[in-house]
Amino acid sequence: MKYLITFIKRILSKDLPRPIGRWRIEQCNKKMNHKIDLSNEDHCGPCGQYALEKIEKIEKIEKIEKIEKINKNKITYLEKSKE
């Protein structure tokens, strides 16, 4: 009987390994939503909606940066021409 109790204690006292990587539980909603988006992208296959949205976002940012650079150059040119 004592052997059985010791055996049960050994089994129950072990801590279960915590999930790591993609399977861990996220506490931050932003990270959790990002993980859900990536998971959906993995399962949807070639639809690529997530990738297309990211590409559009990057293109918009690059376009804005290019416009700002052009405007900055124009302002610098106008300031130099006034002198």
Confidence class of residue 1 from pLDDT cuts 50, 70 and 90? Answer: confident
Q: Which two tokens stand for residue 63?
A: 């376009």
CB 18 within 8 A of CB 24: yes
CB 35 within 8 A of CB 26: yes
Q: Which two tokens stand for residue 23?
A: 């399977």
Confidence class of residue 16 from pLDDT cuts 50, 70 and 90? Answer: low
The answer, yes or no, to whether residue 27 has pLDDT greater than 70, is yes
pTM: 0.40
| pLDDT tens by residue, 46-77 | 566 777 888 899 999 999 999 998 888 877 77
CB 49 within 8 A of CB 38: no
Q: Which two tokens stand for residue 38?
A: 């990536």
